[in-house]
Structure 1
Amino acid sequence: MNTSDGRRPRRVPEARSRAGAPRTPIDYAKVGRSSVRRRARGMTHSEAVAALEGAEQQAHLDRRDEAAADDGGRRAAELTEWQRVVQLLAATGGPYDLDADVVVQEELAEDRRREEAEQQRRQEQQQLADQADELLGLAGAGRLDRTVASRPGDEAARALLDDYDYRVPAVDDWFAHANHAGHYADPAAVGLLLVSVRTCAALLAALARTGAPIDGDLEFVWRLAQADPAVTNALATWLETAAAVKGGPA
């Protein structure tokens, strides 16, 4: 997919480059538990007891070896897991079966839920990135106007844009005119817009009430809204009041 101005689609930060990204910390305790479960597969209770005794002896030796003790908790997790397996087989009689181990199956199900949630999050982030590229493409082609309906997530897509891109002011201008229209007719959705966008929209609305044209080059409105939203809002309120007085009874 290419945007309308020929640029490659935007990608979320995680998908752009994995080379310099921080690696996920290794869960040494989880590694230890997995190791025990693989080794315990098919063991009887007596075999698991022997394995537990060996793990206890190794743990005793490790307490005297600082290098071995610095294993991120793997040895302790292995010992605890052997103890659990022994207790399980004492109740079931064995042999040990991963597929029948409720604890293991619950952990695997939780891992799957986390993976699915992470995949969903990545998909949503990519959709926002594509949405941001679409807005930029329309702005670059001069087709981002009031005929383009706003959609849920547009404000989140805007947050992905680089402010130094020359098309961003056109995108923000579209947001200001989209204020209280389409998706942003919902007050809750309006609250998601950037402060500068809401401030600019308020000033544009106030200018319109005075009868001044608001379809020309109003870059000063954006500069004022971005530089000092409080002053911009104060000016919008003053203009609204002035327009109301002017339009009132003589």
Structure 2
Amino acid sequence: MTTPWPPRRTARRLLAPRVAAPRDPVDPARLGRRAVRRRAKGMNAAAVAAALDDARFDARQDSRHEDLADDVLGQAELAEWERLDQLPAAAPAGTVYDPDTDPVVQAEIAAEATAAAAREAELREATRVAARADELQALRELHALEQTEPCDGDEAAWDELTRRAGGYVQADVDAWLARALAAHLRHYRDPAD
């Protein structure tokens, strides 16, 4: 049996739009250090020294080419091999490199975890502010803003509404926030606010 040419078109299934998650910028130095650590895992002092010699040779070769002269990845790899070459000098004979016990690696992992937690907290706060701004906008459109009690962080929601409006200050939201502050409502009861 032969297939008709051109092939029949089938109904195309529409795909849901994909939203890209925010990503960290690429850090070539970090990539270079990680590549070296993966290669060095299980190496003894002699193997690390040989790898250091190879990295130094590669750095000399790269310095001869204009486009590779300031290669951040290669420089980071060389620096990491040099650091790893110093580690076995203090360790007992026969010790192999393990990134899980390397204090520098563990400190980097802890710093990355702290930075990720801080980014996550900032994202949660931005989401909360955007939701409160949406709520205030909806109340404003329903003319129910005056019956609303202020919440902690409404200043950030006011800033978000002003940003959305292109710098235009919405007089009714501004007046509502000023009245809440003047009347010392809810969290504005504290004189420091």
- TM-score tier, shorter chain, comes to 0.7 to 0.9
SS at match of 1:160: helix
Q: Distance in 1 between matches of 2:177 and 2:56?
A: 66
| Distance change >3 Å, CA 167–CA 30, structure 1 → 2 | closer
SS at match of 1:158: helix
Q: Distance in 2 between matches of 1:96 and 1:54?
A: 18
Query: What is residue 36 of structure 2 aligned with on the other side?
Result: 36
Query: What is residue 185 of structure 1 aligned with on the other side?
Result: 189
Q: Distance in 1 between matches of 2:134 and 2:25?
A: 33
When the two structures are aligned, how many residues end up with a matched partner? 169
Query: What is residue 172 of structure 2 aligned with on the other side?
Result: 170
How does the TM-score come out when normalised to structure 2?
Answer: 0.78
Q: Distance in 1 between matches of 2:70 and 2:26?
A: 14
Would the aligned equivalents of 1:139 and 1:167 in 2 still touch at CA under 8 Å? no
Q: Distance in 2 between matches of 1:70 and 1:125?
A: 38
SS at match of 1:96: coil
After TM superposition, give the deviation of residue 163 of structure 1 in Å.
3.2
Query: What is residue 148 of structure 1 aligned with on the other side?
Result: 148
Deviations 1:155-204 (A, max 9, x none): 1101111337x994332231232122213333443xxxxxxxxxxxxxxx
Q: Distance in 2 between matches of 1:128 and 1:31?
A: 35
Q: Which runs of 5 or more residues in structure 2 are unaligned?
A: 1-18
Would the aligned equivalents of 1:43 and 1:96 in 2 still touch at CA under 8 Å? yes
Q: Which runs of 5 or more residues in structure 1 are unaligned?
A: 1-16, 190-250
Query: What is residue 81 of structure 2 aligned with on the other side?
Result: 82
Q: Distance in 1 between matches of 2:148 and 2:169?
A: 16
After TM superposition, give the deviation of residue 100 of structure 1 in Å.
0.5
Larger radius of gyration: 1
Deviations 1:19-47 (A, max 9, x none): 9x9x7543211111111001001111111
After TM superposition, give the deviation of residue 152 of structure 1 in Å.
1.4
SS at match of 2:145: coil
Query: What is residue 56 of structure 1 aligned with on the other side?
Result: 56
Q: Distance in 2 between matches of 1:113 and 1:122?
A: 14
Report the identity percentage. Answer: 42
Query: What is residue 96 of structure 1 aligned with on the other side?
Result: 97
Query: What is residue 157 of structure 2 aligned with on the other side?
Result: 157
